[in-house]
Amino acid sequence: MSEAALGSGRRDAGYDCLRAAACLCIILMHTAYSTILMYGPSMTAVQTAVCQVALNAQYWAVPCFIMVTGALLLAPEREIGYKKLFSRYIARVVKAIVVFGVLFAVLEAIFNPAMRTWRVFLGGVAEVFTGNTWSHMWYLYCLVGLYLLLPAYKKVAAASDERDIRYLLIVYGAFESLLPMLGIWNIPCGFYIHVSTIYPFWLFLGHYIRRWGDRLPRRAYGAMAVAGTLAVAALTWLQMRRGWPVPEMLFSYTSPLVIVQAAGIAGWFFSLKREGFAGVKRVLGNIDGHSFGVYLIHMAYVRLLYKYLHFDPFTLGLGGIPGLIAVVAFAFAAAYVTDMVMKKVPVFKSIV
Domain ranges of the chain: 5-349
Q: Is the dihedral of CA 166, 169, 174, 175 positive or negative?
A: positive
- Kindly report the pTM of this predicted structure: 0.91
- Three-state DSSP class for 10? coil
Cα 52 to Cα 24, 180, 194, 244, distances in angstroms? 17, 23, 33, 14
Q: Cβ distance 251 to 236 under 8 Å? A: yes
Q: Give the angle 125-130-135 at the CA atoms, nearest 5°.
A: 80
Residue 9 confidence (pLDDT): 39
Residue 107 above 50 pLDDT?
Answer: yes
Coil, helix or strand at residue 241: helix
pLDDT of residue 6: 35
Asked whether the predicted pLDDT for residue 172 surpasses 80, the reply is: yes
The per-residue pLDDT for 4 is 41
Q: Cβ distance 204 to 165 under 8 Å?
A: yes
pLDDT tens for each residue of 264-314: 999 999 988 655 566 777 888 889 999 999 999 999 999 999 988 889 998
Per the CB < 8 A criterion, the answer to whether 43 and 51 are in contact is yes
Please tell me the distance from the alpha carbon of residue 59 to that of residue 340, in angstroms, as a whole number.
27
Predicted confidence at residue 318, as pLDDT, reads 76
Residue 177 near residue 228, CB atoms below 8 Å:
no
Q: Count the alpha carbons within 13 Å of 292 in the hemisphere toward its beta carbon.
A: 18
Distance CA 152, CA 154 (A): 5
User: Mean per-residue pLDDT for 175-181?
Assistant: 92
Q: Rounded to whole angstroms, what are the CA distances from 11 to 14, 203, 213, 274, 326?
A: 9, 19, 19, 10, 31
Under 8 Å between Cβ of 47 and 241: no
For 64-74, how does the pLDDT look when each residue is reduced to its tens digit (9 = 90+)? 999 999 999 99
Q: Is the pLDDT of residue 136 over 80?
A: yes
How far is C-alpha 84 from the geometric centre of its chain's CA atoms? Answer: 24
pLDDT of 124:
64
Q: Is pLDDT above 70 for 119?
A: no
Q: What's the pLDDT score for residue 8?
A: 37
pLDDT tens sequence across 22-47: 999 999 999 999 999 999 888 999 99
Q: Which pLDDT score, from 0 to 100, does residue 299 have?
A: 95
Give the pLDDT band (50/70/90) at residue 7.
very low
pLDDT, tens only, 304-348: 999 888 899 988 877 788 999 999 999 999 999 999 999 999 889
Q: What is the pLDDT of residue 51?
A: 94
User: What is the amino acid identity at position 214?
Assistant: D
